[in-house]
Amino acid sequence: MAHFKKKRGKSTPEVSTSSLPDIIFMLLFFFMVVTVMREGERKVQVTVPQATQLEKLEKKSLVNTVYVGKPIKKYQDIYGTKPRVQLDDKFSNNLDGDIALFLEQHKLKVNEQLHGQIITSIKADGEVTMGVVTDVKTALRKAAQLKVNYSATPNSSKMNRN
């Protein structure tokens, strides 16, 4: 009968690292594709009101956001404490012209067949008077943007449970 000898002093083979760069680059590309970068800095304080009936917007790429509120502390020395309208990263000085330009710039980013589905979402602070919001709505109407949405947070105590 044959005797089996135990091999001593032999180490396990080294792990091949030749595929590690490929894996690292695949992970890098994956995170570059799925990460959504925030487009701009919010310069106004917005605490949206609560609502009982909400509808979630499906296509976020078709939504323009107009912020209405008091400037944050960083900008209060320059712009004061009165409510301001923020479009992208800029405060609006000429509401009619700025909103029309803002909407046209967004339309350039969206497929032409989807232009009729573009929605403008107004994120207004709960403390802002309706006069400012009405001015924004009037400027949107003049720019032929008739699909308008008001942003709100759910009021869980009053929501109906089905």
pTM of the model: 0.70
Q: What's the pLDDT tens digit per position in 28-72?
A: 999 888 887 666 778 898 988 888 888 888 888 899 899 999 999
Where do the structural domains in the chain lie, given as residue ranges? 50-154
Helix (H) or strand (E) holding 98: helix 95-109
Which one-letter DSSP state was computed for residue 4? P
